[in-house]
Amino acid sequence: MFIKSLSLVNYKNFDSASFDFDARINCLVGHNGVGKTNVLDSIYHLSFGKSYFNPITSQNINHDSDFFVIEGALEKNNREEHILVSAKRGQKKVIKRNNKPYEKFSEHIGFIPAVMISPGDRDLILEGSETRRKFMDGVISQSDQGYLNTLILYNKVVAQRNALLKFFAANSKFDRDTLDIYNAQMNEYGSLIYEKRKAFLLEFIPIFDKRYAEITNQKEKVSVEYKSKLSKKTLPELLEENLQKDMMLQYSSVGIHKDDLEFEIGGHPIKKFGSQGQQKSFLIALKLAQFDFIKNLNNTNPILLLDDIFDKLDEQRVTHIIALVAGDELGQIFISDTHAERTEKVVKESKQTYKIFKL
C-alpha cells in the first residue's frame, strides 16, 4: 500500500498544492514555517479523518478561506483508491472513499494504517493519562473496528452518567433506577475495553522491549505497565464505592476512562528520572512497536511519517532509523527536514527509490 498523489486546497498554510509521491521514500525539505509538517499532517488526516496536531477541524482551514479539501490517491491490494476529506466552517466534516461518503467516520479508521513520529510525542511522557490512553486506544482501533465502536459507546454512556449526576446536584434529586442503567452499560462496555487493552499490551510490550533494546544496545531496563483499578475490583463495585464522591464531584471518577500507562526506566518514572536522550529512545521504541503491531495484525506496512526527526535526534538514533529505512520491513516513508543535503545523503545510503520536494 502506498499513496500515489496528494492534493491540498486551503489546508493550513496551503492555498493549493499537489504532489506525486514515490512508492518508498519522500522527503519534504525547506525552512521552518513553509509547510513541511502540514503536508505530513494532511496525510495523517487522510488516514484518521483528523489532524495529528490540532483535532479542531475549523482550525485546519486556511485563515483566508471557509473550507479545506484533502484528496489522496493510493494503491492498496492492487487497486487504486481515492480518499477525500473536506470541511466547511459551520458544517460537518465529510470523508469519502471512491466518491462515497462514510456514514460513520469510525468505519474509515484502519483503512490507511499510519504511524507519525514527531517532536510533539514527548507529550506521551510529560502530559496526563488521557494522552497515553489515546495512544493505546489509537493503536488498537487501527486493527479492531469493534474496539473503536465499543469505546465510542462507553464514552457516550459516561457523558450521559455525568449529565445525570449534574442533574441530581442541580435539582436535589436522586434516581437509583436510571443511575443503575448507566452503571450497567458502563460495566458492559468498560469490561470489554479493559480485557482488550490487557490482551493488546501482552502482545505490544515484548515488541516495545525489543525495539528499545535495538535502539540503545540494551543499556537500560525500561518498562510499560497498564494501571487500572479494574485489576483489583469490578466496575460495579468501584462505581458503588465511589457513588458519594461522584455525586459531590458531579462526574464519574472511576472507570476505564481513568486508566493509564506507566513508563519507567530502572524502576523509576521516566518522566522524572529519564534523560532527554532516554525519553527520545523510549518514544521512538513506542512508535516503532506501534508500527510492528499494526503490520503484524494487518499484514500491511503502515505509512511512516517522520516529522522533523533529524533535527531532534542524535546520530545513534538517526542511524538506527536509517537502517530500518534501508531494509524491506518498512513501506512508504515521508520525512520532513530543514537540511536538503543531509536528507539526500541519508536516503541515498538507503539504496531505495526516493523523491525530494523542496518547499
Delineate the domains of the chain, giving CATH numbers in brackets: 1-113+302-359 (3.40.50.300), 122-299 (1.20.1050.90)
- 208: pLDDT strictly greater than 80: yes
The single-letter DSSP state of residue 219 is: -
Instruction: Give every CB contact of residue 173 below 8 A, 6+ residues apart in sequence.
Output: 167
Q: Which bin fits 34, alpha (ψ -120 to 50), beta or left (φ > 0)?
A: alpha
Res 151 pLDDT > 80: yes
Cell, residue 120: 510533539
Sheet holding 67-76, edge to edge: 14-20, 2-11, 67-76, 79-88, 94-97, 100-101
Distance CA(210)–CA(197), nearest Å, equals 20
Residue with cell 493503536: 139
CB 351 within 8 A of CB 328: no
What's the longest Cα–Cα distance across the chain?
71
How far, CA to CA in Å, does 60 sit from each of 46, 105, 121, 310? 13, 18, 20, 26
Q: Judge contact between 294 and 113, C-beta under 8 A.
A: yes
pLDDT one-digit tens code per residue, 77-135: 899 999 999 999 999 999 999 999 999 999 999 999 999 999 889 999 999 999 999 99
First to last CA, the chain: 25
Q: How many CB atoms lie within 10 A of CB 153?
A: 16
* Phi, psi angle pair for 106, to nearest 5°: -60, -25
**Is the CB of residue 199 less than 8 Å from the CB of residue 143?**
no
**Do residues 42 and 114 touch, judged by C-beta distance below 8 A?**
no
Supply the pLDDT for residue 280. Answer: 86
CA 186, CA 164: separation in Å to the nearest integer? 14
DSSP 61: B
What average pLDDT does the segment 298-310 reach? 86
Q: Are 327 and 298 in contact (CB under 8 A)?
A: no
Q: What is the mean pLDDT of the chain?
A: 92
How confident is the model at residue 319, as a pLDDT? 62
Q: Band of the pLDDT at 193, cuts 50, 70, 90?
A: very high
pLDDT at 149: 95
Task: Please report the pLDDT score of residue 229 as a whole number.
Answer: 97
For residues 244-262, give the mean pLDDT: 97
- In percent, the amount of the chain with pLDDT more than 70 equals 94
